[in-house]
Amino acid sequence: MTKHADHYNRNLACPACGKKSRFKIWDRIYTDKVPELKDQVRDLSLFHFVCPACGQETYLDYDFLYVQNDVRLVIYYAPGGGDISAMHESLQKPEYAFMQSYQYRLIRTRARLLETLAIFDAALDDRVLEIMKVMLRSWLAAQAEPIHADLVEFTFAGGKKAFHFADTQKGNSGILPFEGGVEQTYKALAQDLEPLLAKEETLTFDQAWAVSFVQQHQDLFA
């Protein structure tokens, strides 16, 4: 195994034929240092392993640090549930003072990683969008033909922003474009909640966090 500053080569055994071959593992991804990694994370090609012996295709999931300076974003991606406290503490040292204004996120799933990147690509606040998801779920459940959406995701593709929602058990799904009243709601929430969100110190802004936040500030959502 050859170790570099940001990546290393690992011998991987193909799950189909068992033959071992080398694959580059990136444990620190700096998009300003290696610009092509930005797209390779988003299209998952960075994690795409093809066995040279039999052609078996596999997508690998592993821990890494992702830093995108142009949007001041740091992501700790730890799908295995690992403890990232030591890494986070290391980035709080004086030499990283310029990163104090960055937003830090701890992400455990590939779907959440891709969604978070899409949100920052769209120049939006993932915390506000997570709160909007709670509101959207309530609104869908209150319709004449209620949809109990267990899946709500933000997407940004081709310059178009939208919420995709689905009741995966019943197979009901739909799309809510991020425009008109939806966009105005976002802007109003972002402005009204900015003082409160600035005080949040967690690294994980998910559905559980959003539900708790709304419950704690019910007067703002009445």
Q: What single DSSP character describes residue 3?
A: B
Domain ranges of the chain: 7-108, 126-220
The predicted structure's pLDDT at residue 95: 87
The answer to whether the beta carbons of residues 50 and 56 sit under 8 Å apart is: yes
89: three-class secondary structure by DSSP: helix
What is the tens place of the pLDDT at every residue in 165-211? 999 988 889 999 999 999 999 999 999 999 999 999 899 999 999 99
- Taking 50 as the threshold, does the pLDDT of residue 3 lie above it? no
- Taking 60 as the threshold, does the pLDDT of residue 4 lie above it? no
The predicted structure's pLDDT at residue 216: 93
pLDDT-wise least confident of 53-62, 83-92, 102-111 = 83-92
Pairing type for strands 20-26 and 57-59 reads unpaired
Confidence class for position 1, pLDDT limits 50, 70, 90: very low
The predicted structure's pLDDT at residue 57: 95
The predicted structure's pLDDT at residue 21: 94
What is the tens place of the pLDDT at every residue in 111-169? 999 999 999 999 999 999 999 999 999 999 999 889 999 999 999 999 999 999 999 98
Residues in the chain: 222
What is the tens place of the pLDDT at every residue in 209-218? 999 999 999 9
| Nearest in space to 80 (alpha carbons), one of 110, 108, 107, 48 | 108
State the pTM of this model.
0.92
The answer to whether the beta carbons of residues 20 and 11 sit under 8 Å apart is: yes
The answer to whether the beta carbons of residues 31 and 69 sit under 8 Å apart is: yes
